[in-house]
């Protein structure tokens, strides 16, 4: 899956690569991989950073993360429980622990951790802001929570990934609630092996949130998203 393509100015590329929260984000300058599992390390020869949201098996594969890190010398940015499990495998200086409310940089790309409504030790969600100001919100396995509304107002997200299945309590409806609260330009249903669930999410968006576009991704396909032109 190495992406040769480079996004246009004020855009990013993304690929959803497993049935969970596995997402590759490519900005003009950096490639970030979120929660790699169920994929070969050689899929990511250009990784600059790996972001881990929580320690569950469908998000953290210590061996795979270690293998990608060795091959690319990328930085690992992980929630505290995952960072603890990785600390003996990743060289010092290449592993950063991140907690909700903290922000770090990968070159010119900003990575900010927020809270996550999911039963893990201290799970995080990630706001990724490209060097051009394209804002992606990766909500991991989160169920909706009230603070999302304020974040949506403040950040003006271009893309939000919304869990619609597999994780406890989640459904197309809870995924929709995340989109309703965060009000992105583009909502992306993921974390499911059911196209039916993704389509149900798309139907609810169309009916109840007509100003938000829904992008139903296929695994392994490359999508480009532009920064919103009208930041209101």
Contacting positions for Zn ion (CB under 5 A): 20, 58, 141, 167
In angstroms, give the least distance from the CB of 191 to Zn ion. Answer: 6
Q: In the complex with Zn ion, which residue's Cβ is closer, 54 or 112?
A: 54
Q: In the complex with Zn ion, which residue's Cβ is closer, 20 or 190?
A: 20
CA proximity to 134, closest of 2, 1, 7 = 7
In angstroms, give the least distance from the CB of 165 to Zn ion. Answer: 10
In angstroms, give the least distance from the CB of 138 to Zn ion. Answer: 12
In angstroms, give the least distance from the CB of 145 to Zn ion. Answer: 16
Q: In the complex with Zn ion, which residue's Cβ is closer, 79 or 141?
A: 141
In angstroms, give the least distance from the CB of 140 to Zn ion. Answer: 7
In angstroms, give the least distance from the CB of 58 to Zn ion. Answer: 4
- In whole angstroms, how far apart are CA 192 and each of 16, 25, 40, 88, 168? 11, 19, 20, 32, 12
Q: In the complex with Zn ion, which residue's Cβ is closer, 55 or 58?
A: 58
CA proximity to 154, closest of 176, 184, 130, 175 = 184
Bridge partners (DSSP) listed for residue 95: 76
- In whole angstroms, how far apart are CA 15 and each of 32, 68, 210, 223? 11, 17, 24, 6
Tokens 């855009």, residue located: 11
Count the neighbouring beta carbons within 10 Å of the beta carbon of residue 170.
Answer: 22
Q: In the complex with Zn ion, which residue's Cβ is closer, 168 or 231?
A: 168
Q: In the complex with Zn ion, which residue's Cβ is closer, 141 or 155?
A: 141
CA 149 to chain centre: 18
What is the rounded CA–CA span in Å between residue 25 and residue 23?
6
């Amino acid at each position: 899956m190495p992406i040769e393509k480079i996004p246009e100015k004020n855009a990013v590329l993304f690929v959803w690569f497993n049935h969970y929260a596995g997402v590759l984000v490519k900005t003009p300058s950096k490639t970030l991989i979120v929660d790699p599992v169920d994929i070969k390390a050689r899929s990511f020869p250009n990784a600059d950073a790996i972001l881990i949201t929580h320690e569950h098996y469908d998000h953290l594969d210590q061996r795979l993360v270690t293998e990608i890190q060795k091959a690319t010398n990328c930085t690992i940015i992980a929630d505290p429980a995952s960072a603890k499990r990785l600390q003996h495998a990743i060289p010092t200086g290449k592993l950063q622990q991140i907690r909700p409310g903290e922000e770090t940089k990968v070159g010119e790309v900003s990575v900010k951790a927020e809270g996550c409504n999911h039963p893990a030790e201290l799970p995080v969600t990630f706001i990724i802001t490209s060097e051009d100001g394209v804002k992606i919100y990766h909500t991991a396995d989160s169920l909706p929570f009230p603070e999302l509304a304020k974040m949506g107002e403040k950040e003006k997200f271009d893309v939000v990934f919304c869990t619609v299945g597999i994780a406890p309590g989640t459904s197309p409806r809870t995924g929709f609630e995340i989109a309703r609260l965060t009000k992105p330009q583009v909502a992306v249903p993921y974390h499911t092996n059911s196209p039916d669930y993704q389509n149900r999410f798309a139907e609810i968006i169309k009916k109840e949130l007509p100003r938000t576009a829904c992008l139903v991704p296929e695994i392994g396909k490359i999508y480009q998203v532009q920064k919103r032109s009208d930041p209101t």
